[in-house]
Amino acid sequence: MADGELQFPAFPFQPYPIQQQFMSAVYRALQKGGVAIVESPTGTGKTLSLICSTLQWLEDEHAHRLSSSRKGEAECAKEDEEPDWMRDFEVNKEEQKLKEKEEKKQRRKLQLVSDSAKKVSSSRSFFGDVDERFGGKQRIGKSKKPVKTVAGALEDDEFLVEDYCSDDNASSGEAVKRKPEKDISSSSEEDVEDEDEEEEPLKVFFCSRTHSQLSQFVGELQRTKFATSLQSVSLGSRKTLCINPEVAKLGSSARINERCLELHKAKSSGHAGLKAVKDNQMQRRKVKSSGCPLLKKQRLQRQFKEKLELSSAMDVEDLVKLGQELGTCPYYGSRRAVPTADLVVLPYQSLLNSSTRESLGVKLKDCVVIIDEAHNLVDTVNSIHSCQVSATQLRQVSSQLSEYLEKFKNRLADSNRQYIETLLLLIKAFLDCLAVPEPGGLKGGQIGGAKSKMLTINDFLFSLKIDGINLFKLRRYIKESNIVHKVSSYGEKVISEQTVSTSQSRSGFAKGTIPQVSNALTGFHALADLVLALTNADKDGRVLVVPSVGKGLDIWDGHLKFVMLNATKHFTEIVEEAKTVILAGGTLQPISELRDRLFPQLPHEKVHLFSCGHIVPPESILPLAIARGPGGHTFDFTYQSRSSQTTIEELGRLISNVSSVVPEGIVVFFPSFEYESQVHATWADKGMLASIQLKKHVYREPRSASEVEDILQRYKDSIIKASNQTDKATHSQRGALLLCVVGGKMSEGINFSDGMGRCVVMVGLPYPSPSDPELIERMRYIDQLPAAEVGVGNSVTASNGNLVLQRCGQRGREYYDNLCMKAVNQSIGRAIRHIGDYAAILLVDVRYTSTSSPSGPNAKPSGPASKLPEWIKERLVQVTGSFGEVHKLLHQFFKHNQQRIQGN
Do the Cβ atoms of 620 and 837 come closer than 8 Å?
yes
* Mean pLDDT score, 154-165: 70
Which stretch of 37-51, 249-263, 418-432 has the lowest confidence by average pLDDT?
249-263
Q: What is the pLDDT of residue 733?
A: 63
> Rounded to an integer, what distance in angstroms lies between the CA atom of residue 181 and that of residue 203?
25
- Cross-sheet strand order for the sheet of 343-347: 232-234, 343-347, 204-208, 368-371, 580-585, 34-39, 607-611
Please report, rounded to a whole number, the percentage of residues in the chain having pLDDT higher than 70.
74
* Mean pLDDT score, 324-344: 95
pLDDT at 795 over 50: no
pLDDT band at 490 (very low <50, low <70, confident <90, very high): confident
Which stretch of 291-305, 314-328, 846-860 has the lowest confidence by average pLDDT?
846-860
Find which of 65-79, 634-648, 726-740 is predicted with most confidence, using mean pLDDT: 634-648
DSSP three-state, residue 699: strand
Q: What is the pLDDT of residue 725?
A: 67
> Rounded to an integer, what distance in angstroms lies between the CA atom of residue 193 and that of residue 179?
18
User: pLDDT (tens digit, 9 = 90+) per residue, 266-301?
Assistant: 655 444 333 333 344 434 443 344 478 998 888 999
Which stretch of 60-74, 463-477, 719-733 has the lowest confidence by average pLDDT?
719-733
Q: What is the pLDDT of residue 504?
A: 46
User: pLDDT (tens digit, 9 = 90+) per residue, 820-848?
Assistant: 999 999 889 888 888 889 999 999 999 99
Do the Cβ atoms of 521 and 492 come closer than 8 Å?
no
Q: What is the pLDDT of residue 596?
A: 87
Q: What is the pLDDT of residue 124?
A: 38
pLDDT at 366 over 70: yes
* Mean pLDDT score, 664-675: 96
Half-sphere exposure of residue 427: CA atoms within 13 angstroms, side-chain side:
25
Report DSSP letters for 58-112, one per residue.
Answer: HHHHHHHHHHHHHHHHHHHHHH----HHHHHHHHHHHHHHHHHHHHHHHHHHHHH
pLDDT band at 784 (very low <50, low <70, confident <90, very high): confident
> Rounded to an integer, what distance in angstroms lies between the CA atom of residue 755 and that of residue 741?
20
pLDDT at 142 over 50: no
Q: What is the pLDDT of residue 258?
A: 79
| H/E segment holding residue 840 | strand 839-844
Helix axes 483-500, 391-408, angle to 10 degrees: 80
Report DSSP letters for 96-163, one per residue.
Answer: HHHHHHHHHHHHHHHHHH-SS------SS-HHHHHHHHTTTTPPTT--SS---TTHHHHHHGGGSPPP
What is the b/e burial string over 356-370, where b = at least 16 CB atoms within 10 angstroms of the residue's CB?
bbeebebebeebbbb
Which stretch of 129-138, 380-389, 665-674, 870-879 has the lowest confidence by average pLDDT?
129-138
> Rounded to an integer, what distance in angstroms lies between the CA atom of residue 300 and that of residue 120?
10
Find which of 353-367, 582-596, 662-676 is predicted with most confidence, using mean pLDDT: 662-676
> Rounded to an integer, what distance in angstroms lies between the CA atom of residue 294 and that of residue 322?
13
* Mean pLDDT score, 83-106: 59
More confidently predicted of 447 and 214 = 214
Q: What is the pLDDT of residue 2?
A: 44
* Mean pLDDT score, 343-369: 93
Do the Cβ atoms of 543 and 454 come closer than 8 Å?
yes
Do the Cβ atoms of 695 and 660 come closer than 8 Å?
yes
pLDDT at 653 over 80: yes
* Mean pLDDT score, 540-547: 94
| Residue 592: how many other CB atoms lie within 10 Å | 17
More confidently predicted of 383 and 787 = 383
Do the Cβ atoms of 758 and 686 come closer than 8 Å?
no
> Rounded to an integer, what distance in angstroms lies between the CA atom of residue 276 and that of residue 675?
67
Q: What is the pLDDT of residue 786?
A: 74
pLDDT at 145 over 90: no
**Any idea of the CA torsion for 372, 375, 381, 384, to the nearest 10 degrees?**
-80
Q: Classify burial at 43, counting beta carbons within 10 Å of its beta carbon; exposed 0-12, middle 13-18, buried 19 or more.
A: buried
Using left for φ > 0, alpha for ψ between -120 and 50, and beta otherwise, residue 34 falls in: left
Amino acid at 91: V
pLDDT band at 52 (very low <50, low <70, confident <90, very high): very high
> Rounded to an integer, what distance in angstroms lies between the CA atom of residue 810 and that of residue 805?
9
Which stretch of 21-30, 102-111, 697-706 has the lowest confidence by average pLDDT?
102-111
> Among candidates 763, 719, 762, 710, which has minimal Cα distance to 737?
719
Amino acid at 843: L
Q: What is the pLDDT of residue 322?
A: 96
Using left for φ > 0, alpha for ψ between -120 and 50, and beta otherwise, residue 136 falls in: left
* Mean pLDDT score, 860-879: 87
> Rounded to an integer, what distance in angstroms lies between the CA atom of residue 173 and that of residue 164?
14
* Mean pLDDT score, 119-147: 38
Max CA separation in the chain (angstroms): 97
> Rounded to an integer, what distance in angstroms lies between the CA atom of residue 184 and that of residue 143?
24
Q: What is the pLDDT of residue 799?
A: 37
pLDDT at 353 over 60: yes
More confidently predicted of 50 and 450 = 50
For the chain, what is the mean pLDDT?
80
pLDDT at 796 over 70: no
Q: What is the pLDDT of residue 376?
A: 87
Q: Classify burial at 105, counting beta carbons within 10 Å of its beta carbon; exposed 0-12, middle 13-18, buried 19 or more.
A: middle
Beta carbons within 8 Å of 204's beta carbon, 6+ residues apart: 54, 55, 58, 342, 343, 344, 367, 368, 369, 370
pLDDT at 82 over 80: no
Do the Cβ atoms of 830 and 667 come closer than 8 Å?
yes
List the Cα angle 24/582/63 in 5-degree steps. 60
Q: Is omega for the bond preceding 15 within 30 degrees of 0, making it cis? A: no
pLDDT at 114 over 70: no
Q: What is the pLDDT of residue 579?
A: 96
Do the Cβ atoms of 598 and 382 come closer than 8 Å?
no
> Among candidates 252, 329, 289, which has minimal Cα distance to 525?
252
pLDDT at 700 over 90: yes
Q: What is the pLDDT of residue 584?
A: 95
* Mean pLDDT score, 143-148: 39
